[in-house]
């Protein structure tokens, strides 16, 4: 064939491939190809034959899909990629976009192969290449100890090819499709079924890349083992495991691991989702191998010499991305990605982390470390702690700054309080659990105080909120005392403590919003000695008063 004919043939095949992909075999005519290629129909027939022969030529020259090429490349150059990781990455691509493995032209070729012997030969060769590459990967997995002896390699390969082709065929007509997590969960169960009960893989790949994984697993025996097994299939090594949170039916597990360099973040995430939910994967560090008690002791030792490094030590303890020591009235409020802690009355520590939300245990640990620094500073006479021990009718209470670990006790106090008491505090039916609970329990700008009984129960909660509507000089106060302790002087002690905190934070004006029917709270505010201006609108009393620079209140640094 002359060079000019070779160039023309290539041009014709390119035009034909585009038209077949757009209009299919039945919708593409020879004259359409000729026009697109800029040649005559006779030239098309002379160089490539009729439409059927042209279709065969296009398929014979066609490059396979990206997912199939990924597998082929791994077979040709295994490198340091565990075969299961290659297959999982290819599967993700297929599930996300079935056309990545079988486009419309390939599917039409498979259909026509049933009635066209020559095209059947072409497709047999193409499928044969997919088969050989997949078989090579499956053989590698078996050689590493990842497959049960009673499972056929050929059956695995045929199932994988048939499933991917079927997905691509049905994709345009299905309006109800599983999520990626659903697919990964199903494939994981299939993987467990075909792997040996005592799967111990050969250490064929260097696992040196550090990663951190966090996800929720079910509250069932064996759920953690299932996760470890899924990760092991990627030739991953577990460095450390800890439980950092829990709910009614799940636990949040944090895992430090190392993996082969070729095992990507997405592949680790997919494997993890096969055994859990709400997974996060972030870069690890060499320090992950250092156990938690050692890290805590190291941080405490450093604070003995330099208490002011406490915020940095707290950030390192919970692996925060950023740390800020802010005024009590500045910065972001608490949220899943922001941990706000009351360090001193005037200063809050704000920690941020992008790769995973802060869990309950981490909030408690960071708070405990900051309290330790305050205790060290107080013992060295560098700084006073904050707390009031007060007598009430029939007992004694302790008022102090709230901590993240108070969240459950604050929720329990709300549960014990009547619907009337809760409504008078929030003016609505309010959910005081979850993220909002952490904000109420000290995770907001300003200050949060809790009242503790002699038995150690939290029986009251008071908040000082900066009021932006009144400018930076004003703060709003709000409080709730559980019913059993109302009428015993708790409210009087708590409101004076809140006013003291507002003055200490250099607010010059105080505001309060009270239901007009809440005569007890209105009387309590007026008994403080402040000169209140009040307005009533739609059943709500809006009160405002100038705050003296110093509120008379006796502080004590002792308590339960």
For the stretch 453-466, pLDDT in tens is 888 899 999 999 88
Enter the tokens of residue 152. 């056929």
**What does the pLDDT read at residue 3?**
53
Residue 495 has pLDDT above 90, yes or no: yes
How far apart are the C-alpha atoms of 396 and 392, rounded to whole Å?
A: 6
Least confident piece of the model among 36-50, 68-82, 243-257, 353-367: 68-82
Closest CA to 361 of 251, 270, 444: 251
CB 518 within 8 A of CB 512: no
- By C-alpha distance, which of 88, 132, 105 is closest to 24? 105
pLDDT confidence band for 545 (50 / 70 / 90): very high
Residue 381 in this model has a pLDDT that exceeds 60: no
Looking at residue 200, its pLDDT comes to: 62
Choose among 256, 253, 189: nearest CA to 218.
253
As a whole number, the mean pLDDT across the chain is 82
pLDDT at 391: 81
pLDDT of residue 92: 73
Cα separation values, 277 from 186, 251, 527, Å: 14, 10, 53
CB 165 within 8 A of CB 92: no
pLDDT band at 226 (very low <50, low <70, confident <90, very high): confident
pLDDT at 117 over 70: yes
Superfamily for domain range 207-289: ACT domain (3.30.70.260)
Q: In this predicted structure, what is the pLDDT of residue 81?
A: 66
Burial zone of 187 (CB within 10 Å; 0-12 exposed, 13-18 middle, 19+ buried):
buried
* Residue-wise DSSP of 205-231: S-EEEEEEEEEEEESSTTHHHHHHHHH
Please say whether the beta carbons of 250 and 217 come within 8 A.
Answer: yes
Q: Residue 289 has what DSSP assignment?
A: G
CA pair distance 466, 177, nearest whole angstrom: 48
Predicted confidence at residue 553, as pLDDT, reads 46
Q: Which two tokens stand for residue 289?
A: 């191998």
Q: Where are the alpha helices (DSSP H) in 216-339?
A: 223-232, 265-273, 292-305, 310-317
The total of other beta-carbon atoms located within 10 Å of residue 154's CB is 10
* Matching fold, domains 207-289 and 387-546: no
Domain boundaries, the chain: 3-61, 66-194, 207-289, 292-379, 387-546
Q: What is the pLDDT of residues 304-333, one digit of tens each?
A: 777 778 888 888 888 888 888 888 888 888
> What pLDDT is recorded for position 70?
67
Q: How confident is the model over 209-220, as pLDDT tens digits? A: 899 999 999 988
The pLDDT score that the predictor gives to residue 379 is 63
> Cβ(344)–Cβ(376) under 8 Å?
no
Region 387-546: CATH code: 3.40.630.30
Q: How far apart, in whole angstroms, are the C-alpha atoms of residue 402 and residue 345?
A: 11
CATH code assigned to 3-61: 1.10.10.60
Q: Can you tell me the mean pLDDT for 471-493?
A: 90
135: nearest Cα among 157, 161, 164, 159? 157
38 exposure class (CB count in 10 Å sphere: 0-12, 13-18, 19+): exposed
In the DSSP assignment, the letter for residue 409 is H
What is the edge-to-edge ordering of all strands in the sheet holding 447-452?
387-392, 395-401, 447-452, 458-466, 474-481, 509-515, 540-546, 532-537
pLDDT tens digits for range 4-20: 888 888 899 889 888 88
In this prediction, residue 383 carries a pLDDT of 45
Are 409 and 458 in contact, with CB atoms under 8 Å apart?
Answer: yes
Quick one: CA dihedral 503, 505, 506, 511, positive or negative? negative
Measured over all CA atoms, what is the biggest interatomic distance in the chain, rounded to whole angstroms? 109
550's tokens? 């110093």
Find, among 26, 30, 58, the residue nearest to 43 by Cα.
30
Q: What is the DSSP letter of 453?
A: -
pLDDT digits (tens, 9 = 90+) for 64-84: 666 677 676 766 666 666 777
CA distances from residue 55 to 20, 130, 319, 422 in whole angstroms, order as listed: 8, 20, 58, 75
């Amino acid at each position: 064939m002359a060079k000019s004919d070779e160039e023309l043939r290539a041009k014709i095949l390119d035009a034909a491939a585009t038209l077949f992909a757009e209009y299919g075999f039945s919708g593409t005519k020879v004259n359409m190809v000729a026009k697109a290629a800029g040649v005559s129909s006779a030239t098309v027939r002379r160089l490539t034959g009729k439409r059927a022969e042209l279709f065969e030529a296009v398929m014979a020259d066609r490059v396979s899909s990206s997912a199939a090429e990924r597998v082929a490349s791994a077979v040709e150059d295994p490198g340091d990629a565990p075969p299961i990781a290659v297959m999982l990455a290819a599967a993700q691509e297929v599930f996300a976009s079935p056309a990545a493995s079988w486009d419309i032209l390939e599917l039409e070729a498979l259909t026509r192969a049933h009635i066209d012997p020559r095209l059947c030969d072409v497709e047999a060769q193409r499928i044969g290449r997919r088969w050989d590459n997949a078989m090579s990967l499956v053989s590698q997995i078996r050689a590493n100890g990842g497959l049960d002896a009673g499972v056929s390699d050929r059956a695995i390969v045929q199932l994988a090819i048939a499933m991917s082709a079927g997905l691509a065929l049905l994709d345009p007509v299905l309006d109800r499709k599983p999520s990626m997590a659903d697919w990964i969960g199903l494939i994981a169960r299939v993987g467990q079924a075909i792997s040996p009960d005592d799967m111990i893989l050969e250490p064929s790949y260097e696992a040196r890349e550090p990663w951190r994984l966090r996800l929720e697993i079910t509250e069932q025996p064996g759920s953690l083992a299932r996760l470890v097994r899924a990760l092991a299939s990627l030739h991953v090594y577990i460095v450390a495991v800890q439980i950092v949170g829990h709910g009614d039916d799940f636990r949040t597990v944090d895992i430090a691991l190392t993996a082969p360099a070729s095992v990507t973040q997405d592949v680790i995430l997919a494997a993890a989702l096969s055994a859990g939910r709400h997974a996060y994967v972030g870069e690890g560090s060499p320090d992950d191998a250092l156990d938690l008690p050692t890290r805590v002791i190291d941080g405490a030792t450093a604070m003995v010499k330099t208490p002011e490094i406490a915020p940095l030590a707290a950030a390192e303890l919970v692996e925060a991305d950023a740390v800020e020591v802010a005024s009590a009235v500045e910065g972001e409020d608490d949220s899943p990605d922001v941990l706000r802690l009351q360090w001193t009355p005037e200063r809050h520590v704000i920690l941020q982390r992008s790769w995973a939300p802060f869990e309950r245990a981490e909030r408690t640990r960071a708070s405990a470390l900051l309290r330790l620094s305050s205790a060290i500073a107080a013992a060295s006479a560098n700084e006073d702690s904050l707390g009031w021990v007060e007598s009430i009718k029939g007992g004694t209470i302790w008022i102090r700054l709230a901590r993240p670990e108070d969240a459950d006790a604050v929720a329990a106090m709300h549960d014990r309080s009547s619907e009337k008491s809760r409504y008078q505090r929030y003016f609505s039916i309010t959910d005081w659990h979850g993220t909002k609970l952490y904000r109420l329990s000290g995770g907001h700008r300003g200050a949060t105080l809790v009242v503790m009984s002699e038995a150690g129960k939290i029986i009251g909660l008071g908040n000082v909120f900066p009021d932006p509507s009144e400018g930076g000089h004003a703060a709003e106060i709000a409080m709730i005392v559980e019913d059993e302790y109302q009428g015993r002087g708790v409210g009087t002690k708590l409101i004076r403590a809140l006013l003291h905190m507002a003055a200490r934070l250099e607010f010059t004006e105080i505001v309060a919003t009270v239901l007009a029917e809440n005569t007890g709270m209105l009387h309590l505010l007026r008994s403080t000695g402040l000169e209140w201006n009040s307005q009533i609108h739609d059943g709500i009393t809006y009160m405002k008063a100038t705050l003296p620079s110093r509120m008379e209140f006796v502080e004590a640094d002792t308590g339960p």
